[in-house]
Structure 1
Amino acid sequence: MAECRPLGFLIGLPFALIALVLAVLGAVVWILGSIFSCICPCCFCCSALANLAMKIIQLPVKVIRWFTDQIPC
């Protein structure tokens, strides 16, 4: 717990909540993109959309880590 920076966590929490909403939307887009790419494998845009959605789903964790890294010890 030497790397624990509670101030960075508290400052980043509102932004992480916004990113969490985007992650839920990203999950919906990922599900739809996966379904469309299974139905029509020739649609490369659907698989690219699903990959983008996976990056959006990981966004809340990245936001919290970025904010905690910005606060000095």
Structure 2
Amino acid sequence: MEDCRPLGFLVGLPFALIAVVLSLVGAVIWVIGSVVSCLCPCCCCCAGLVNMAVDLVKLPFKILKWFTDQIPC
């Protein structure tokens, strides 16, 4: 437990909660983009859209990790 930094977690928590809302939007975009890419595989713009949606889904974890890394022990 040497990487436990509760202050960084607490400071990053409001931003992570906002990112959770964005990740839900990203999940909806991901599902819609996956369906469209299955229906029309020649649509290459859907691949970029789906990749962006996956990044939005991972955003809360990235934000919490960044905040905890910024706070020294």
Using the size of structure 2 for normalisation, the TM-score is 0.98
Cα distance in 2 for partners of 1:57, 1:15 equals 14
Give 4+ residue runs of structure 1 displaced > 3 Å after superposition.
none
Percent of pairs with identical residues: 63
Cα distance in 2 for partners of 1:31, 1:50 equals 8
Shift of the alpha carbon at 1:47?
A: 1.4
Q: For 1:22-70, what per-residue CA distance to the aligned partner results, in whole angstroms no more than 9, with x for missing partners?
A: 0000000000000000000110011110011001100000000000000
Q: Which runs of 5+ in 1 are unaligned?
A: none
Q: Secondary structure at the match of 1:23?
A: helix
Q: Which runs of 5+ in 2 are unaligned?
A: none
Query: What's the Cα RMSD here?
Result: 0.4
Using the size of structure 1 for normalisation, the TM-score is 0.98
Question: How many positions carry a matched residue from both structures?
Answer: 73
Cα distance in 1 for partners of 2:65, 2:71 equals 10
